Amino acid sequence: MRILDCHTHRPAPYPEGIVSVSPDDWDPLPGQLYSVGLHPWYLPDDLDAALKKLGRIARDRQVAAIGEAGLDALRGGPMYRQMQAFRAQAQLAQMACKPLIVHNVRCTAEIVLLRRQWGVTVPWIIHGFRGKPTLLRMLLDAGCHISCGPRLNKDVLPSVPLPRLLAETDDSPETISEVISAMAGALGMEPGKLADRIAETAAEIFYV
């Protein structure tokens, strides 16, 4: 399988992408890869039940990653609940030996601290990254991968080492080829070459 799009909300079938769903929407199509998680904007009232359900789904072979999960300082429920859900999902990803797709809005310090404190070994993919160079440095130093989408920061992109770089469409209507072409432009690379490199990294991370 050649995965180019590590995070999307478009519907399956989508063979070149990892389709992100919540545990309640888990209804896998044969051959499709998914990430399953609790988004910080939409945390259910009964968090324990949802996490239990996620724990059961997490081991399925079609679940390539946990998430998206994360922390959002601008939107979503109270931070203590977001933190509770994020920590539980990070733990689940670590136990299932699967990567975590991370939603991060203004919570880089918390995310980096948690990853370091816990000695996390599975990849954490910071999705939709368009932050400043200092934040990028913090995330890279903590061992995170960086995924860029349609709203990318073209000035910061060249500072991401290629082995840590992924691409995504997230919730945008743009195709993954359009996203990768824009990234390749910012990197001064040929789009086909960048696509090959991204597919290679995805294959390593998601064991596809």
Residue ranges in contact with Zn ion by CB under 5 A: 170
In the complex, residue closest to Zn ion by CB: 170
Q: Residue 1: helix, strand or coil by DSSP? A: coil
Between 72 and 170, CB nearer to Zn ion: 170
Minimum distance from residue 186 beta carbon to Zn ion (Å) = 21
Q: Which is nearer to Zn ion, 26 or 189 (CB)?
A: 26
Least Cβ distance, residue 128 to Zn ion (angstroms)? 7
Smallest distance, Å, CB 145 to Zn ion? 15
Q: Provide long-range contacts, Cβ within 8 A and 24+ apart, for 150-158.
A: 150/174, 150/178, 150/179, 150/182, 152/179, 152/182, 152/183, 152/186, 153/129, 154/182, 154/185, 154/186, 156/130, 156/131, 156/132, 157/183, 157/186, 157/187, 158/186, 158/187
Cβ closer to Zn ion: 9 or 191?
Answer: 9
- Cβ closer to Zn ion: 6 or 120? 6
How far apart are CB 70 and Zn ion at their closest, in Å? 9
Check: CB of residue 7 under 8 Å from CB of residue 39.
Answer: no
Long-range (24+ apart) CB contacts under 8 A made by 129-132 are 129/153, 129/160, 130/156, 131/156, 132/156
Select 77 or 191, whichever has its Cβ closest to Zn ion: 77
Report in angstroms how near the CB of residue 1 gets to Zn ion at its nearest.
Answer: 21
